[in-house]
Chain A
Amino acid sequence: MLVATGCEGGRLGRAARHALARLATFVVMGALVLVAAGDAAGRFRLVPAPERTGGTAYSSTDLVAVVPVPAPRLREGDVLIVRNPREHALLRIDKIVDSDGPQVHIAGDPASRVRQLGGTSWRVRFAIPYAGILLGLLAGPVQGALFVVAGLALVVRAEMRRGRDPSTEPRRAAGAGA
């Protein structure tokens, strides 16, 4: 009895672990897909913090989540990310010099330097410490292409294996008969 009970409990525990593992996998995958979809749709972006973060509370090792904000809605204290051929930095708005434009003064800039922001700015919402190091290694067009190609190859391979598996035949046949 004791052994039998133990065996029964072991099977139940294994099943529970498998169920939990599946659940965790789905949750993680769902979150990953949601993040990637939101990222691709331009609702937000996850980026490694740039080297220059002076004047902000963030570190260059952070991973920052940024959201698009129309420039006229920016406020003093907002932290923006800028990456263009001339500059790659996190910038904190020190002062709105003129709300029309808007023209702002950035913390750390010379007092006489005024920047005009136009279009859409990317404002930092939150940061994950140290995660920027990992994403910094993964980020890039070549890396992105490699990941996507490898992912597509794995998906195709999985589909081919499912197609060859006899256990899926009856279901497909039933589906065909229906």
Chain B
Amino acid sequence: MTATAPNPRRRPGRWSLVAGVALIAVGVMSFNAYASFTASASYNQAVGTGTMALTLANETSATTNYNLSGSALAPGDTMQRGMLLTFGGTVAAGDLKLSASDSSPTALDDGTANGLTLTIEACSQKWDETTSGGIPTFACGGSQSTVMAATSVRTLIQTPQTLTTNLNLGGANHLRLTWALPAAADNTFQGLSNTIALTLTSDQRAATNK
């Protein structure tokens, strides 16, 4: 009887309980070990800025330079120069600003009446050049339009002109620059010599969403 008496300290099912709790614990870890970890939200944001370029060149097929010097001008004379102005790059231009400067102004561009003027015209195709004695003239075989009406150089020096009309602000422009000494110029214009620097600048197109 004594030998078979139940041990009061022994609890039946104790090991089942231990194993059960252990399995539940392992099960919980097993669940979580498979869980998702969304720690990294990855993306690449490519950003590239555009470019702008303004290129001056001689008109296509022209045999004379667009900055060919003019000499011995008399009142009423004109100087025609062909220029190929190209708006390059990946950002279109919003306008063209034209300004002039002269480090040693004379009556031609110091505000004296009947000073030098500049006219700019555009042609839908290349200007046809004709030279006579090395002096070029240009005719438009396509559609001709005015970019800037006759403007005194003095005005260009004082107030840069913003040009947009009849310009292709995203590509090539066939331009004819006509310098003129008005017929009303008097003797005060004799024997003058100037070097006028023209500066062409361009602002970008209006900002937009990209």
Interface residues of A (CB under 8 A from B): 25, 29, 32-33, 35-36, 39-40, 45-48, 66, 71, 80-84, 87, 91, 112-122, 135, 138-141, 143-162, 164-168
Contact = CB atoms under 8 A, between A and B. Distances in A.
Interface stretch (B7-15, B48-56, B162-170): B7-15
B58 to A, nearest CB: 42
Interface residues of B, number: 36
Closest 6 CB pairs of A and B: A147-B27, A154-B20, A151-B23, A158-B13, A151-B24, A36-B25
Interface string B1-38: 00000101011111011111111111111111111111
B42 A116 contact: yes
Contacts, number: 164
Interface of B: 6, 8, 10-14, 16-44
Nearest to B10: A167
Given A39-B29, A151-B20, A168-B11, 20 more contacts: A32-B21, A32-B22, A36-B28, A48-B33, A82-B39, A116-B41, A122-B39, A135-B29, A135-B30, A135-B33, A144-B31, A148-B23, A150-B20, A154-B20, A157-B16, A158-B17, A160-B13, A161-B16, A162-B12, A167-B6
7 contacts: A36-B28, A80-B39, A87-B42, A139-B34, A143-B27, A155-B21, A157-B16
B44 A148 contact: no
A153 B6 CA distance: 26
